[in-house]
Structure formats: C-alpha cells, structure tokens
Structure 1
C-alpha cells in the first residue's frame, strides 16, 4: 500500500522538485514517510517563516517552485509573512501543510493547532488554497498548483492535507494538467500596433522589471534596435550591466522620471508599476507616459495601470515576436541619441541620490567586484535601499531583496541560503542590517548544517537607523529604534562559521574575497556607520 504521504513525495519528485524546506511535527510526520527513500533533499530551518524565505530564495535562483512542508496551525501562520513576500514579488512557492482530522474541522473543539478555517486564512495570501478531502484529490490538486506556476503570474499556492487522510492508501491520480499549461501567447494585433508605435518613435525608452529577467539578451537587442535607454527597476537590475543604454536607477528619482516624461514612446516589460519602485518616497508626481506599451503575463496586472497597447504574454515570447515585427526607425532620428539620453539620466541620478547613498553603492560595487556574477540577496537595510535607487549589477535576476513589495525584515539570510542551495555553482552574498539579522539569527545554523557557502555581510549600525532618521525628521522623539545586538562574529563562530569584523568600507572587498575563499558559510560584520 502506498499512502497519501508517500504518493505526495513521489508526485513532487516526478514534477522535478529537488528539495523541500520544513520542520517536521506530529501533524506532518506521515508526509515524511516516503522522503528518506526519495531523491528530494530536506532542509530544516530554525523557524517556519525561514522555511518560506528559503523556498522563496530557491525559487528566485532556479526558476523552479520552492516547496515547504508545514505543520498545522502555528507552522502555517508562521510562514504567512514569507508567503506574502512571495505573493508581492511573483515568486512560485508551494506550501503543503497538515490540518486537523476532517471530523473536527470548523467545530471549535479546541484541538491542538486548531484554526477556525485554515484554508480561508491561507486563501487571503495565496493564489489558491485547497484541502485534500479524498486521496483521489491529491494528483489533481498538485496539477492545478503547477499549472498556476506555469501559466501566468506566479505566486504562493497552499495545499492542506488532514491528518486522517495522510495515511490513507492512494493511487496515482495525476491528470497531467500541468504539462499542458503555459503562458498566454502574444496577440498578433497587439504586436502589430506596438511595433508600429515603437518604430516611429524618435525618443523611445524601455522599462524593465523582474518579469523581464529571463529575456536579458532580447531586451538588449530591442534596446539597440530602437536606440532606447533602458530603465531597470530593482528586480530588473543586471539586464543591461555596463551597457551604454542602461539606466540602473529607480523610476522614483526625479532624473529618471524626467527621462521617461521626455520619451515619445515607452515599452514596459514585466513591471507592475508598484509604488515601492515608482514612488518610493510616496510623493506622487510620476509622469504620464506617452505611447505606453505594456508586456505582462498577467492581464489583471496590466488592467491596474492603463496603457495604450497591452500585450498579455511571457516577456521572452512577446519581445521575440515584437522584434521581428519592428520596422526601420525614422530616417530623421538622431543616431546615438539614446546613448546620450541614458548617460545624462545615469549621471543625474547618481548626483541625485546624495553622497551618503553613493558611499553605500560604492560598497555594493566592492561586493560585486569581489564576487562577479554573484546573487546579492538583500534585507531591509540602508545599503540595500541605496542599491534599489542606483546599482548596476552584473547578473540578471541576481539583485533581489525584501525592501520592495511586502518589505519583510529577516528575508535576506534565509533567502540567500535557499538561493545558494538551488545554485551551488553561483556565489551568493547576503546584505543585512543588525536589526534584520536578529529576526533570523539562528538560520546561521541552517547555513552550517547545509554547507551553504553564503557570505553574510552584516551592516551593524546599532539599531534601526532609517526609522530613527524618519522619526527625527518628522519631529518625533525616537523610541524603540536602538535594540541591542549580540557580537555577530562570536555568534557565527559559535556555529563553527568563519567570521571577521571590519570598520572601513575600503576593507569590504577584500573581506568578501577572503570569506568566499574559505569555501563555506562566512560572516563579515561592518561595525558602526562607515558612510558617515
């Protein structure tokens, strides 16, 4: 007899799942029955929220869904923050949880780990939430989950299995629905209209977000064909590293907004026009865009920000077709004008962010030079805020953090571990503040357990400095912004991790190089505020 729990593992394995993240409990042990004999690797974090962040980082690094096993009740509510971050950033995460026995559900009997309606709780955060009431439901539920990941804008999906269902016998009930799923194909009429509009533009621009990271080569080609500056939002960084047409700066900056306002056509690829990218300071004033063409896999997302032409499709599919439909540029279009416009916008944005943030970006540049091609995974900390405003990374999809979208503190370290586990061949550096590090300090142990060679750069300025500054500027006496921190190097060393402390940004590049050379997890602590 093959149980539901065993069949679940088989079905995940058949769908290419390589690892699951979770903490086993009495409500999920039947899900683990087949795990030891499978090819799936189990990773145990120290907290369920970290399990979600690990799955998120793994998914961003690999492009495959991250999977978490979670106990009923508190295990699931602990992971909600991580799933909300994944929802905000369109990251495919599959949360598989237990739930109490079917006969007890919704009756308020006071069972261990009981929630009034666990599915309803998760449905408010996830793309879908469903319960396996019968073993025959398992395959179709998994098919629907993987179809959601493959056919549109991804995000978290939740499946729960009652404890009295986990051990029931289960045949393979897959419908192979996921295999037939795929993103929508670009509409020919929309492509033709967009090609005509962009071909006749004399000063076009391109906006790229995280949805374009799989089309970096095509974005470069269409930018060169149109002679169009390319503005990269935070999740779009790395698509045109060091390219004359690249503008690795936030559209929240006045200088970048001026570039877009002066454009007679704008092609926006895989970007949702969210406030954390387009109005970071909540001051309004983002200009109306002339001749706006949007490419997005999600029709509902396109509907939230009006445009002239909408192309509902995967970025790579749409840009490839659009390229072939473009006509020759206007004969009177000034050659090289796009390069000059991009350079002017870059220079103005660099000046606009100010000396303090420029010093933070210099520190990020030092990390990039010490670890070329790295994934730099950030938490909510000042160096990351600076990088989101202006930073030219060298890897598409290699700069991501939780300082946009949902904005969860404690994201960086576990997400970096998940990214490294998913791509062990790629250097991974986590940039985190002392406050965010303390949210997930114990995950240093997870990195050691899993031999995940992440370099944790902890920017220890003694508190929540960004919040303290905001309180002072608002005329509010700072309260609660100076929590004490441990000796991070000693904590790391107590786990057996290499650690060193520096007090100068000039020493950061060498410290990161040394940490990478050790071949295992390592921590670099920056003490004080070297930017002052």
Structure 2
C-alpha cells in the first residue's frame, strides 16, 4: 500500500508578527492602518513582506489609525484593522475604539506588549501599562493576548468571531515583544466561521404581527444594526404602509426620497399619530431620549405607541423594555415579521383599512419647509447633496453643518452617511473619512468638518497626500467651537472661555502638505469648486469662511419639543 502521509505539514516556521499577518490575510483583510514602533516591528515587517496580499496605510497619529479603521468598517460592514504600539499608542487610539463600540462597528486593534518576563511586574518597561488587557476590556467587546506565535491563527479567528457574531463591535489582540520577534512552527487555519443568526421566537413574531395588523399608523425606526437589512426593512414598510426614520446610524436604509422615507424631524412631526412603533437594530434614542422633554431614564415606555423591538442583542430588551420583544438579526427578524403579517392579513375575511399615507407626505413637506431656516447650513448641504451621486459617501463631524446634516442632508443608500453615534467624538470626522475613502477609492467621498474638529487630526493631510487618498474635505471655518460659543453666550452671560479660536491660514497649510486648497465664502461659490474637486480624485481641502456666530442653531430640530 503506498504511503500517502504528507511529507510536510501545512505550515511553516515564522515570526509572531508574520503569524498575525498571515491570519489576517486568511480572514480576508486587505488593508491595515498603522503606525509602526519598536514592539510592532516584526508585524510591520511581515506586512511589508506580504504587501502583495495586504496593503498598509501609515498615519501620523495613533488616533487616526483607529478612526481610519472605523471609517473603513462603518462604510463597508467589513472589519477595519489597525495596529499601534502598546501603552500610549493604545491610549491614543482609545477614542476611536470607544466610538466603534458605540456604533457597533467591527474594528480590530493589533498591538504589542512588554517582553513576557516583564508582564505584570510593574518595572516600567517601554510603553508598559499596569494592565493593558483590563484597560482595553473596558471599551472593547473582547480582548486577548496571543501567548505564542503558534496560537496566532486560533486567537485571530476568535477575534473575528467575537467581532462579527451577534452584536458587532471592536476587539483587540496583543502579543509580547519577544513573542512577536521570535519564531516557531505555525499551522494555518481557515478563516473564522461566523455562526448564523438565530431565528426569532415564533411566539414573539406572532405577537408582533397581531399588533401590526391592528395598527392604524405604525412607524419603523432603524439604527446602525439594520444597515445590512435594507431590503427586508423596505419590504416590511411597504406591506405595512409604515414610514421609516433614523437619527444617525440607520440613515439610508430606506431612501429619504422614497414615499416612506422620513428625516428625523419629519418623524417627530408624525410621532403623535403613531400607535405602534417598530425599532429595528436601534437604541431608539430619538423618541425616548430626545423628543418631548423625555431626557430621562425610561426602562419601559408607556403606550401608545405599542413598542416592538427587533434586536440581535437580548440585553437590549432590558435596557429599554418593549411591549413585544423580538430577539433576532434585523434582516431575519424583519422578514419573519413580514411573512407573519402577510399570513394574518390573508386569513382575515373582513376588509382591512391600510394606514393613511397622507399624514406621512404632510409631515415630510412641513419638515422640509421648517428646516430651511437653519442657514447657511441648509444651503451648503443642498450643494453637497447635488454634487454627490446617490451612492456618494458623506462623513459628518460635530460642527454646525454636521449637526444640521442629521436632519437636513437626505441619505439614499445604506452606509453612505457615516457618523460617530452617541459618543459625539469631536475631531473624528476628517480622520474617519480618510478610512472611508480608502475603502471606496472609486466612489466620491466628502468630509464635512469645523475648524475646531479638523485641528484634532490636521496632521493627516500628510497621510492623504502621501497615499493619494482622494478625499474632499469641506472645512467650515467660523473661528470657534461653535456650539460651545453659542452656549456660553446664551447660557452663561456671554462669559466666553476657550471657545473662540485663532486659526492658521488653512490655504498655506494645505500647500505645505502638498494638498490642493480652495477658499470660498458662499454656497454659490462652493458648487463649482466642489464639482471639480470630486472629479480630480486627489485630496482637496476647501475652506468655507463663515462669520462667527452667524449660523442658525440646529438644536430645535434635534431636540424638538411640543
């Protein structure tokens, strides 16, 4: 009988850094955002050796590495990966990890650790934290140490399972300096297997369907957890005649130019008529934390409306208890609910009145008219929307135009509006938008930012230039942290401190970084400049000069009251 034993095992001797890089490639990673340092040299050397399989985009600050990975993940739904040194590098990137946790974005941080004999000793080795894993576990979904190079395939696979199973979220892995540089035999593994979402309880679906069949004016609110469920949500909405609204994370799941697509403020105007609310992949911050003076803790909202929640995370049903819970993936749950509603309706012999769409169109028209007063932000948003195709991407920022975009910028497709969610991380926008553009080199991407937020990551203009990341950045310069300035003037007797800014000449700055720059002062002037910038496919900075204090507050449309 011939010997059919393999002559060699399906593996090879490699460094710890190469073992991590190989495991990332096996899991389909095509891009790593990173900033190399001493503990990470073997990993970055492996990335260089495998540059035919995986590209590396370097940054000038660790925070930018994290935010670029966040932008990649938020705009694609695929894992965004970044690598920084341990200790201060991890802490510099922690804001991006907190943002990813708040937005349920699949982001993987690959970092180092002091040499194995020094871990937990407190000797003060380079970049040592007292307990880095404990620190990371405070703001990521899961974190682990890779103890040996041979363990890298298994631990990286587990990182992907944790990151993508159930409610997505950021994860982190660390490897000690000596393990990263040392070598041993490593057996590769296939990519991680992500368990399919569990089917919802038939009893829960039946209860929800009965409530919907009896509804007069249902409404659907979607969040970031439903970005992959666009088709199912739209089909359910059309069957019910229910409008679909989102605050930030769920925008574009149903196009806002669809008859059933609502802006957040149009949804507010319709809210008093709603008798059944379906929350899909959403924390429902909008109705239960922002509207009608309800800025208080609510464990179970009163009815009406009768609240149905579809969420993959069972713990959400305790954070805000619905009247009818459905624990399921957004797409799976929406399809099951659609099927049940159709079946119940088919069984009814009496004629059933469908929800009246007239109030929906009225609310949309009234909201569109009311928000026109938010100037000049609305006129600028009109220019941006006209310049971008339906699938063009916009990354907002905590700025006067960014806030207005929550309700004033129509979104037409999933994942084309990138926000930072409830974390409200000032300065995230420009850095995140670089990752969005890196993920979508063939699509137009616009970053809107204020002068204050832009300066958090201004150094990344160098990254944009070096890697030719063709992002168009609209820098609204009002020489202020505009919200803080308004609050201090109105609420604190005009005692202004730290809110008025003296800025550099941004056009000189753009030239210094080798980036094309333009300065405009009106929406009419912006339109042709933006059109040309989007055609250039090069990094472009457009400064928009706005008189300090001239912008109308958007907050009555974000925190509306009756």
TM-score scaled by length of structure 1: 0.93
The residue number in structure 2 matching 1:36 is 48
> Which of these two proteins has the greater Rg computed from alpha carbons?
2
| Aligned partners of 1:269 and 1:296 also within 8 Å | yes
Which portions of structure 1, spanning 4 or more consecutive aligned residues, are displaced by more than 3 angstroms?
170-177, 255-258, 274-278, 280-283, 285-289, 329-336, 347-354, 529-532
1:524 equivalent in structure 2: 542
The within-5 A match list for 1:76-155 is 76-155=90-169
2:27–2:191: 8 Å Cα contact kept in structure 1? no
- The answer to whether structure 1 residue 449 and structure 2 residue 463 are counterparts is no
2:229 is paired with a residue whose SS is helix
Q: Map of 1:200-215 to 2, 5 A cutoff?
A: 200-215=214-229
* Pairing 1:17–2:35 present: no
Instruction: Confirm or deny that 1:471 pairs with 2:488.
Output: yes
Contact 1:87 1:125 in 2 (8 A): yes
Does 1:59 find its partner at 2:59?
no
Could you tell which deviates more after superposition, 86-95 or 487-496?
Answer: 487-496
Over 3 Å counting, the alpha-carbon distance change for 1:51 and 1:389 in structure 2 is same
CA distance in 1, matches of 2:24, 2:191: 14
2-structure distance, mates of 1:523, 1:398: 20
**Maintained 8 Å contact 2:23/2:152:** no
Residues 469-521 of structure 1: CA deviation (Å, up to 9, x unaligned): 11122124111101211121221122222211111122222221111122211
Provide, for residues 161-205 of structure 1, a one-character-per-residue CA deviation record: whole Å limited to 9, x for no partner. 000111233444566683142333322222222222212212111
Q: Is the 8 A contact 1:233 1:277 kept in 2?
A: no
Matched with 1:394 is: 412
The number of residue pairs the alignment matches comes to 525
On the 8 A contact 1:434/1:458 being kept in 2, the answer is yes
Aligned equivalents of 2:510, 2:292: Cα separation in 1 = 35
CA distance in 1, matches of 2:477, 2:275: 45
1:291 pairs with one of 300, 306, 311: 306
SS at match of 2:226: helix
Could you tell me which residue of structure 2 aligns to residue 482 of structure 1?
A: 500
Give the match for residue 61 of structure 2. 47
- 2:452 is aligned, of 425, 435, 446, to 435
Q: 1:232 aligns with which of 246, 270, 273?
A: 246
Q: More displaced, 340-349 or 153-162? A: 340-349
Cα deviation per residue 1:320-379 (whole Å; 9 max; x = unaligned)? 222222132886655561x2222232234345546125x423321221111112110011
Please say if residues 27 and 157 of structure 2, whose CA atoms lie closer than 8 Å, have aligned partners that are also in contact.
Answer: no
2:322 aligned with 1:310? no
Q: 148-157 or 163-172: which moved more? A: 163-172
Is the contact made by 2:150 and 2:184 (CA closer than 8 Å) also made in structure 1? Answer: yes
Distance 1:460 1:182 in 2: 47
CA distance in 2: counterparts of 1:25 and 1:199, whole angstroms: 60
Residue 407 of structure 1: CA displacement? Answer: 1.1
Task: State how 1:322-401 maps to structure 2 within 5 Å.
Answer: 322-327=337-342, 328=345, 334-335=353-354, 337=356, 339-350=357-368, 353=371, 355-356=373-374, 359-372=376-389, 373-401=391-419
Runs (5+) with no aligned partner, structure 1:
none
TM-score norm. by structure 2 comes to 0.88
Q: 1:259 aligns with which of 270, 289, 305?
A: 270
Contact 2:76 2:415 (C-alpha < 8 Å) held by counterparts? no
Separation in structure 1 between the aligned mates of residue 412 and residue 503 of structure 2, nearest angstrom: 33
Aligned residue among 516, 525, 528 for 1:498: 516
